[in-house]
Structure 1
């Protein structure tokens, strides 16, 4: 389970726990290179390939040649690249990043949104969670991640602020996004794939935020829309996200044979 840009494994706590509690899944939710709690990037030019290499190494350490990959935003981008390398049994891409060509308005719009959020990140780094007590601060903080105005619970919002203000790869990944094209070879997807669109996504607003995927993914890919939720839906609708993941994995998994 792969998290969005500026976040960490914390965003998956509830959904990962629910999936593990079924007794049917081993769940691994790492923090990616350059993010709070994860390893620092070995180079200033942090390309997507390095993020993917790092996840592949972790899978190898676990003894997992393949896995059911779930990724949100940047994690979705990394998920598509893992699929291209043959490491995905299935892929669930939730509001994935990378849906653009070398020169695309969607790409520049996305980078501009994060640049405009820079002053708010600096203020949050200085004040910490206390910033939420300022007028309108909570709404500003929840706009990028949540559909409803009240956003996720306080504890999870505090984790988001802590993660975002301690992300070492903030500038590195924005520069990388400007320099490099997005996802390529989407038409060659081999693993069963579902694209999850979030109705209230303000980072990749529907429909333009997902047109690239809808145009380039094969017809066999499934598309599902979660109504009323924002860019990081597992914070505000964990039960629904858990069901979407589990149902898709079950649909494309071999049934376990009864032990005689």
Structure 2
């Protein structure tokens, strides 16, 4: 039996490389593809401006068509989560797992201005310190401090991985346009497919108590979870937890998934349950609505 397709969509200024820590485990269950987005380092060049979310959605649709897939499972982080949700709206998604998705802010700036400023500041710092990075990134503390906006344990990155993230940021040609966007995710009263929104408990880019609350209002039928002790890009801090929540989501349309260690992820009655100790999915939308951000205790 052929494995169902799973498309991984990265966040703004990142590239497909950001999924490296989860690709192998996910590939045991799905045919996985991780494209680099339009205008990002390694991705297709931008042919027309301004770049809008529609541009990224249409690019992924072309990828689906090229592979002969009417639909696919999607997992996306930040910008990638937003794109995945728009693909669901267009009927192209079997399931969506959105990890701290972008787009949940208001027209008057709530949840957006501060986030854009943090990313812009990170880009400025990266530009100024890039000549020193190859030496500095050999020190775990430097890696942790450099990536503290997006991860609690940036020291877990290798020096090469850390340098790749910086080069991805500097090589992105659409950063300013995306940070200045006035677009936002419109309400989705009825979910067109099973949707999980997994928010990073220590997200400094899109804090759960701000952006997560907006998401709960706009996606009333989605399942909400908190990923404890991880930053905005949770694949850095807890790749195992990210793998589990993604597979728990895809299992909602395909039945149970078994892991090599004997754990099982089952998808029955539209509820994803992780039958393991540390990463139990509690489907607790009220947690996000109440702004219950997990205390940030980096994993050892």
Q: TM-score, normalised by structure 2?
A: 0.77
The aligned counterpart of 2:278 is none
Aligned equivalents of 2:85 and 2:113: distance in 1? 21
The aligned counterpart of 2:74 is 69
- Measure how far apart 1:206 and its partner are: 2.2
Aligned equivalents of 1:37 and 1:187: distance in 2? 36
User: Which protein is richer in helix relative to its size?
Assistant: 1
The aligned counterpart of 1:171 is 176
2:212 to 203, 210, 214: 210
User: Unpaired runs of 5+ in structure 1?
Assistant: none
Give matches, 1:230-245, under 5 Å: 230-245=231-246
Size of the aligned set, in residue pairs, is: 250
1:100 to 79, 99, 105: 105
Aligned equivalents of 1:91 and 1:28: distance in 2? 15
The answer to whether the Cα contact below 8 Å between 1:100 and 1:181 also exists between their aligned partners in 2 is no
- Measure how far apart 1:235 and its partner are: 1.7
Closer/same/farther in 2, CA of residues 51 and 87 from structure 1, 3 Å limit: same
The aligned counterpart of 2:19 is 12
Deviations 1:190-239 (A, max 9, x none): 11100101111111122112111011212x31111111111111122111
- Measure how far apart 1:62 and its partner are: 0.7
1:3 to 4, 10, 13: 10
The answer to whether the Cα contact below 8 Å between 2:10 and 2:19 also exists between their aligned partners in 1 is yes
The answer to whether the Cα contact below 8 Å between 2:153 and 2:236 also exists between their aligned partners in 1 is no
User: Unpaired runs of 5+ in structure 2?
Assistant: 1-7, 258-300
Paired residue secondary structure (1:225): strand
Paired residue secondary structure (1:27): strand
Deviations 1:74-132 (A, max 9, x none): 10011111111111110100010000122222111111212222321211444443353
The aligned counterpart of 1:90 is 95
Paired residue secondary structure (1:102): coil
The answer to whether the Cα contact below 8 Å between 2:74 and 2:96 also exists between their aligned partners in 1 is yes
Between 1 and 2, higher relative CO (CA 8 Å, sep ≥ 6) is seen in: 1
Give matches, 1:191-230, under 5 Å: 191-218=193-220, 220-230=221-231
Paired residue secondary structure (2:98): strand
Closer/same/farther in 2, CA of residues 137 and 255 from structure 1, 3 Å limit: closer
- Measure how far apart 1:165 and its partner are: 1.5
Q: TM-score, normalised by structure 1?
A: 0.88
The answer to whether the Cα contact below 8 Å between 2:72 and 2:93 also exists between their aligned partners in 1 is yes
- Measure how far apart 1:14 and its partner are: 2.2
The answer to whether the Cα contact below 8 Å between 2:99 and 2:199 also exists between their aligned partners in 1 is yes
Q: Is residue 59 of structure 2 the alignment partner of residue 54 of structure 1?
A: yes
Aligned equivalents of 2:41 and 2:123: distance in 1? 17
The answer to whether the Cα contact below 8 Å between 1:200 and 1:230 also exists between their aligned partners in 2 is yes
Aligned equivalents of 1:254 and 1:225: distance in 2? 23
